């Protein structure tokens, strides 16, 4: 319907013959603030004063004689309420040379004050979505008591519905993408943890096998000779040194048979180079 004042209308303070039912006056400070991290001047805006005036109004049919009149309650609680800017003026700040130096020292440089007047004009077409209540002979549109959204929009109903559906669709897509990303990260972390667990388990198993092999070698006949046996095959004599860990534990044939990347059988560190072992 079209906005129509119930009693008196609100007059603009700056524009003649401008009548409305909602009036919002705003004083906004604009200044530059020095960022010590980026070493740049950044724009900063702050509302230093804002006042909103309202007067009761109805939504009436665009064509006289058709439809019913609806009284709008609590319009400031409605979403999508777009007020038209009827007056806007920027008052730049006047600064002396001393003020400029002080502003550079303090890290704040004022630019000026912006004065704005916004109004919901009489005759504006609005679409209201909310709870309808019959109070005596008056139909009232008010915010739903169940906490549902309350709208007063300049869009028509179909456009408003499409806008809300687009917003819901966007959040659904964002939720699905976030869910997939979370699952991927969780799978990666679990896989990494599982691999670390397998590596630690394999290392413990090899250390236990090495300990048992040493015990068998110490108890076997000719233990002085078998002390120098390869820890992998237990048949050949140790013939190489692994670097950078420095372990002397394998023959050259078993070193060649180690899987790539080659790791020391004792400490599982990467083998960067191999030095032959010579005994006189």
Same domain, yes or no: 141 and 251: no
| Mean pLDDT calculated for residue range 124-131 | 89
Whether the per-residue pLDDT at 202 is higher than 50: the answer is yes
Same domain, yes or no: 16 and 132: yes
Out of 181-185, 226-230, 258-262, least confident range: 226-230
User: Is 178 a member of any domain?
Assistant: no
Angle at 220 between CA 215 and CA 226, to 5 degrees: 85
DSSP for 52-114 reads EEE--EEEE-SSTTSS--EEE--GGG-BT-PPEEEEEEEEEPP--HHHHHHHHHHTEEEEEEE
**How far is Cα 44 from Cα 31, in angstroms, rounded to an integer?**
5
Residue 261 CA to chain centroid, in angstroms?
40
For residue 2, the cross-strand partners are 60, 125
Same domain, yes or no: 94 and 231: no
**How far is Cα 3 from Cα 58, in angstroms, rounded to an integer?**
6
User: Is 221 a member of any domain?
Assistant: no
Q: Can you read off the two tokens belonging to residue 219?
A: 């108890």
User: Is 134 a member of any domain?
Assistant: yes
Name the one residue in this structure whose structure tokens are 């939720």: 175
Domain that holds residue 35: 2-172
pLDDT of residue 219: 63
Out of 158-167, 179-188, 221-230, least confident range: 221-230
Same domain, yes or no: 132 and 32: yes
**How far is Cα 214 from Cα 212, in angstroms, rounded to an integer?**
5
Look at residues 131, 134, 133, 152 and name the one whose alpha carbon lies nearest to residue 143.
131
pLDDT of residue 65: 52
Whether 18 and 30 have beta carbons less than 8 Å apart is answered as: no
Q: 202: exposed, middle or buried (C-beta count within 10 Å: 0-12, 13-18, 19+)?
A: exposed
User: Is 214 a member of any domain?
Assistant: no
pLDDT of residue 64: 61
Number of domains in the chain: 2
Residue 256 CA to chain centroid, in angstroms?
52
pLDDT of residue 222: 47
**How far is Cα 145 from Cα 132, in angstroms, rounded to an integer?**
11
Whether 72 and 58 have beta carbons less than 8 Å apart is answered as: yes
Out of 20-24, 96-100, 108-112, least confident range: 96-100
Q: Can you read off the two tokens belonging to residue 100?
A: 């400029």
Higher pLDDT, 7 or 215: 7
User: Is 142 a member of any domain?
Assistant: yes
Does the pTM surpass 0.75? The reply is no
Angle at 75 between CA 168 and CA 2, to 5 degrees: 95
Same domain, yes or no: 130 and 258: no
User: Is 206 a member of any domain?
Assistant: no
Q: Can you read off the two tokens belonging to residue 258?
A: 């180690």
Distances 168 to 159, 163, 164, 171, 196 between C-alpha atoms, Å:
14, 9, 6, 5, 42
What CATH number does the domain containing 259 carry? 3.30.40.10
Tens digits of residue pLDDT in 46-101? 999 999 999 999 998 877 655 688 999 999 988 888 889 999 999 998 888 888 88
Same domain, yes or no: 167 and 250: no
User: Is 270 a member of any domain?
Assistant: yes
**How far is Cα 226 from Cα 220, in angstroms, rounded to an integer?**
8
Whether 41 and 34 have beta carbons less than 8 Å apart is answered as: yes
Same domain, yes or no: 6 and 83: yes
Q: Which of 144-153, 189-198, 231-240 has the highest mean pLDDT?
A: 189-198
pLDDT of residue 193: 93
User: Is 208 a member of any domain?
Assistant: no
State the alpha helices, DSSP H only, in the chain.
97-106, 157-219, 223-226, 252-257
Whether the per-residue pLDDT at 224 is higher than 50: the answer is no
């Amino acid at each position: 319907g079209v906005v129509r004042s119930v009693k008196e209308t609100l007059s603009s303070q700056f524009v003649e013959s401008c009548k409305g039912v909602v009036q919002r006056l705003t004083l906004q400070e604009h200044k530059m603030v020095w960022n010590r991290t980026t070493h740049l001047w950044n724009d900063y805006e702050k509302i230093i004063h804002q006042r909103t005036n309202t007067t009761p109004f109805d939504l009436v049919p665009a064509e006289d004689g058709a439809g019913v009149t609806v009284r709008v309650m609590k319009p400031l609680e409605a979403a999508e309420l777009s007020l038209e800017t009827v007056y806007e003026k920027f008052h730049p700040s006047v600064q002396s040379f001393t003020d400029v130096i002080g502003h550079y020292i303090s890290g704040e440089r004022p630019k000026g004050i912006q004065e704005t007047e916004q109004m919901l004009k009489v005759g504006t077409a609005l679409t209201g979505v909310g709870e309808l209540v019959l109070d005596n002979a008056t139909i009232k549109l008010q915010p739903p008591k169940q906490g549902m959204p309350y709208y007063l929009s300049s869009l028509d109903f179909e456009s408003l519905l499409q806008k809300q559906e687009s917003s819901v669709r966007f959040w659904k897509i964002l939720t699905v993408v976030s869910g997939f990303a979370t699952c991927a990260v969780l799978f990666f972390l679990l896989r990494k943890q599982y691999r670390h667990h397998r590596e630690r388990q394999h290392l413990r198993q090899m250390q236990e096998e090495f300990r048992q092999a040493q015990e068998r070698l110490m108890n076997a006949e000719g233990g002085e000779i078998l002390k120098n046996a390869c820890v992998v095959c237990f048949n050949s004599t140790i013939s190489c040194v692994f670097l950078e860990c420095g372990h002397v534990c394998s023959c050259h044939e078993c070193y060649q048979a180690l899987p790539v990347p080659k790791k020391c059988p004792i400490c599982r560190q990467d083998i960067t180079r191999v030095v032959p072992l010579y005994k006189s």
